[in-house]
Amino acid sequence: MYKFLWKKVKKMRIEHIAVGYNSEEESDEFFIELLGLKKIRSKSVPPDLMEKFFGVKREHKFVRYGNRDSNFEVFITNDKSKAKDVFTHSCLVIENRDEFVDKASSMGFDVVKVPRKDGDGYYLFIKDSFQNLYEIIEKR
C-alpha cells in the first residue's frame, strides 16, 4: 500500500505558501526587500468566498510574490493581530545565510539563532512582523 501512495506523492510540488500580514507595506518589506521576490499580482477575495474558504466573513486583499522557484500568497488583514500558531513555519533555502542574517537583523526582523549540539553551526529562524516563522537553511 505504501509504495502505491509514494508513487502518487512523489509527483507532488508545492505551488505556493499562504500567510497573513497586517499591511501590504510590511509585506513588501519582507518579501521584496528581504527575500528579493517580485510582486506578481494582487486581488481582493469577496466576503462570501472568504467565509467559505476560511470562516472569515470579510473581504481580504491578497498579494502574490514569487520567482521561478517560490511563490507566496499574502492575505492582508489591515488590523493589528498577529499569527497565533507557534509551530507552523516555512523553510527557505538561502545562498549566503550569514549575509541574510545580517540583512534581516538590520531591517529589524526577529532572528532566532540556536547553536547545534554538535557545535557545527546553528539553527536559524526569522520572524516577520506578523510573527510568521521561517526556518533558514543554506544552499549546499
Longest dimension (CA), the chain: 52
Q: Residues near 30 by Cβ (< 8 Å), separated by ≥ 6?
A: 21, 109, 128, 129
Please give the single-letter amino acid code of residue 63: V
Q: 41: exposed, middle or buried (C-beta count within 10 Å: 0-12, 13-18, 19+)? A: exposed
Q: Which three cell numbers stand for residue 139?
A: 544552499
User: What integer pLDDT is reported at residue 102 of this predicted model?
Assistant: 94
Indicate whether this model's pTM tops 0.75: yes
* Segments making up each domain of the chain, as ranges: 16-138
**Tens-level pLDDT at each residue, the chain (140 residues):** 455 555 555 566 788 999 999 999 999 999 999 999 999 999 999 999 999 999 989 999 999 999 999 999 999 999 888 888 888 999 999 988 989 999 999 999 999 999 988 878 899 999 999 999 999 998 87
User: What integer pLDDT is reported at residue 86 of this predicted model?
Assistant: 84
Q: Which CATH architecture has domain 16-138?
A: Roll (3.10)
User: What integer pLDDT is reported at residue 7 of this predicted model?
Assistant: 55
User: What integer pLDDT is reported at residue 32 of this predicted model?
Assistant: 98
Q: At residue 23, what are phi and psi to the nearest 5 degrees?
A: -145, 160
Q: Residues near 17 by Cβ (< 8 Å), separated by ≥ 6?
A: 70, 71, 72, 73, 90
User: What integer pLDDT is reported at residue 139 of this predicted model?
Assistant: 84
3-state secondary structure of 88: coil
User: What integer pLDDT is reported at residue 39 of this predicted model?
Assistant: 98
C-alpha–C-alpha distance, residues 112 and 134, integer Å: 10
User: What integer pLDDT is reported at residue 109 of this predicted model?
Assistant: 96
C-alpha–C-alpha distance, residues 114 and 125, integer Å: 9
